[in-house]
Amino acid sequence: MIALLFLGIIPGTNIQINFNSWLICTAVLLVLTLFYIAYRRKLAQELMILFIIRRAIRTTRLSSPSV
């Protein structure tokens, strides 16, 4: 069981990486990468435009008279 939790010592240092540290670092790196991709593609602005268009379509359908 200890072998699964022990990844090793970083060469040239005295730092030991265990599974929990590796998992946390990987999760942080993933979140930072996703934020960077969202920032570069201007995802927040695109989502805001999408929601505004959907709201406008929905209110137009609700306010139009039935035939």
pLDDT tens string 27-54: 999 999 999 998 898 988 999 999 999 9
Residue 10 lies in a domain: no
Say how many domains are in the chain: 1
pLDDT at 20 over 60: yes
- Identify whether 56 is part of a domain: yes
17 contact partners, CB below 8 Å, separation of at least 6: 7, 8, 9, 10
Mean pLDDT (whole number) for 7-27: 81
3-class secondary structure, 1: coil
Residue 13: what pLDDT? 78
The answer to whether residue 3 sits within a structural domain is: no
Contact 48, 54 (CB under 8 A): no
Mean pLDDT across the chain: 82
Question: Can you give the residue range of the structural domain that contains 60?
Answer: 42-67
Tell which residue, 15, 22, 19, 23, has the closest CA to residue 2: 19
In a domain, 22, yes or no: no
Say if 25 falls within a structural domain: no
Q: Residue 36 falls within a domain, yes or no?
A: no
Sorting pLDDT into bands at 50, 70 and 90, what band is 1? very low
| Residue 64 located in a structural domain | yes
The answer as to whether 57 is a domain residue is yes
